């Protein structure tokens, strides 16, 4: 049954995260704005060459962003919401490479022409439009990611539409530049808003605010990636506001805006790297947890039978006369009777009690596993038969001294175990032979009256 839509759910996002993001954004943008102002003021003499250098920095940053996002999407095709932003930054790479071809004279003669400025402005505005559209699409795709229209079968269509929209924006930017005289737009001798009514201070600010709000509502600070997207929205909002409010576009305002764009982009790259690190850390944690679950017994959290055999196989090649390996198999005495009389839940408590008791008497490099219902097995590397027997008798005695007053296991019968030992000094046999011999010794302990230790004898 579909859940009923409630207006209050729209604003049901973590307020603490919003407050924290707002405070950090104000601090970061204050620092970036100060850095941009100081950089421009201290590099007035080389200002013409500064714009191409900034463009190269942006170009490299956009390439890094595109590669990071492409790798993320290829690793998880369910992240369809990444495709619009990938297209936006890939398109920005194309535009920067395209308009950078106008700048070679800037490096050689330190001269930037009016045409260069004009091409930069056109590329800048179309990048803004492209980013606005793609960020909005990305947020909506994320919010609707579970909708049937965004099923894997329709992914190809969605990706095709997004890519074509980005290509159209890049093509329009080229048609408006000095490379195509018929449709060239001159932004250097007139107010920018004369050609682009949309790019007026109030409209511009409201547009970016709306996109930012939609992004926050649909993504709700889910991860560092979306925090970075919010940051991009705010940075372009401030940059565009600075640019549009100027009378003309060829003063230091151009450099200040471009420098702020560079610094903001570098911060976004840094955020993406942090996000990648967090994703790797979470993935690594999940892998470790999954691995531990695969080798652990869920009741006792001891190693399971599979791990025990794998560990034994790895230790067998190291067995020598001077480096023996002792295998101990133990079984809970009269466990079936305990289960029948007190119930399986009580029986589980007995198993857990014995597991904890044995583990407390072992060395750090010893291996204890639960290999059956009430059966345990130990690997004691470097321990000979004599010392293995001493350890086993100590364990056997400790278990038999169970006091129901100090635990939640209340039963009239004593809790005891029978233990069998085989100490190997020959590494030419299979793991089944080692286990079988220790198992035979354990059954001899059972036949000898239980609650005792027996060593395998040929």
The label of the residue with tokens 């308009």 reads 99
pLDDT of residue 111: 47
| Separation of alpha carbons 383 and 127, rounded Å | 71
Per-residue pLDDT of the chain (458 residues; tens, 9 = 90+): 444 444 444 445 567 788 888 898 889 888 888 887 777 777 655 455 666 777 788 889 999 999 999 998 888 888 889 999 999 999 888 887 776 665 555 444 444 555 556 676 777 778 888 888 999 999 999 988 887 777 776 778 888 888 898 888 888 887 877 666 655 565 554 554 454 555 554 677 788 889 999 999 898 888 888 999 999 999 988 887 776 666 544 456 667 777 888 888 999 999 999 988 988 898 899 999 999 999 999 999 999 999 999 999 999 999 999 999 999 999 999 999 999 999 999 999 999 999 999 999 999 999 999 999 999 999 999 999 999 999 999 999 999 987 776 677 888 888 999 999 999 999 999 999 999 999 999 999 999 999 999 999 87
Note the pTM of the prediction, 2 decimals: 0.71
pLDDT of residue 12: 56
Which domains does the chain possess? 12-292 (1.20.1070), 305-455 (3.30.70.270)
332: enclosing H helix or E strand: strand 325-332
378: enclosing H helix or E strand: strand 375-381
| Separation of alpha carbons 456 and 458, rounded Å | 7
Residues in the chain: 458
Q: What percent of the chain has pLDDT over 70?
A: 80
pLDDT of residue 20: 87
pLDDT of residue 4: 46
pLDDT of residue 115: 56
pLDDT of residue 250: 45
- C-alpha closest to that of 139 among 24, 50, 230: 230
């Amino acid at each position: 049954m579909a859940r009923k839509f409630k207006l209050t759910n729209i604003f049901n996002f973590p307020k603490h995260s919003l407050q924290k993001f707002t405070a950090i954004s104000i601090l970061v943008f204050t620092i970036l704005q100060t850095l941009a102002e100081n950089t421009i003021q201290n590099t007035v003499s080389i200002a013409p060459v500064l714009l191409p250098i900034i463009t190269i920095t942006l170009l490299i940053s956009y390439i890094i962003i595109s590669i990071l996002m492409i790798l993320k999407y290829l690793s998880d095709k369910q992240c369809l919401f990444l495709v619009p932003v990938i297209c936006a930054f890939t398109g920005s790479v194309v535009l920067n490479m395209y308009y950078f071809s106008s700048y070679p004279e800037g490096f050689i003669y330190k001269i930037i022409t009016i045409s260069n400025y004009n091409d930069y402005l056109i590329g800048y505005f179309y990048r803004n439009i492209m980013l606005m559209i793609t960020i909005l699409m990305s947020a909506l795709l994320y919010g609707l990611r579970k909708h049937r229209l965004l099923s894997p079968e329709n992914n190809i269509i969605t990706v095709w539409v997004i890519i074509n929209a980005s290509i159209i924006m890049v093509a329009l930017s080229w048609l408006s530049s000095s490379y195509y005289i018929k449709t060239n737009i001159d932004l250097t001798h007139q107010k920018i808003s004369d050609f682009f009514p949309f790019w007026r201070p109030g409209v511009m600010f409201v547009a970016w605010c709306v996109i930012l709000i939609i992004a926050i509502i649909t993504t709700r600070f889910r991860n560092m990636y979306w925090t970075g997207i919010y940051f991009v929205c705010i940075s372009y909002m401030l940059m565009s506001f600075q640019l549009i409010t100027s009378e003309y576009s060829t003063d230091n305002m151009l450099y200040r805006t471009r420098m702020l764009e560079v610094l903001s982009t570098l911060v976004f790259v840094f955020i993406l790297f942090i996000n990648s690190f967090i994703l790797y850390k979470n993935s690594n944690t999940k892998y470790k947890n999954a691995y531990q679950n695969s080798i652990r017994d869920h009741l006792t959290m001891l190693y399971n039978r599979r791990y025990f055999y794998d560990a034994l196989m790895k230790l067998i090649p190291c067995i020598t006369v001077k480096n023996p390996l002792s295998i101990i198999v133990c079984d809970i005495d009269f466990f079936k009777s305990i289960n029948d009389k007190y119930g399986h839940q009580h029986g589980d408590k007995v198993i857990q009690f014995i597991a904890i008791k044995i583990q407390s008497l072992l060395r750090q490099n010893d291996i204890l596993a639960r290999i059956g219902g009430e059966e345990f097995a130990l690997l004691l590397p470097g321990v000979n038969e004599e010392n293995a027997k001493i350890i086993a008798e100590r364990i056997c005695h400790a278990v038999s001294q169970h006091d129901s007053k100090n635990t939640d296991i209340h039963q009239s019968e004593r809790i005891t175990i029978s233990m069998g030992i085989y100490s190997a000094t020959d590494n030419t046999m299979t793991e089944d032979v080692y286990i079988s011999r220790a198992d035979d010794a354990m059954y001899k302990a059972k036949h000898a009256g239980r609650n005792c230790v027996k060593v395998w004898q040929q």
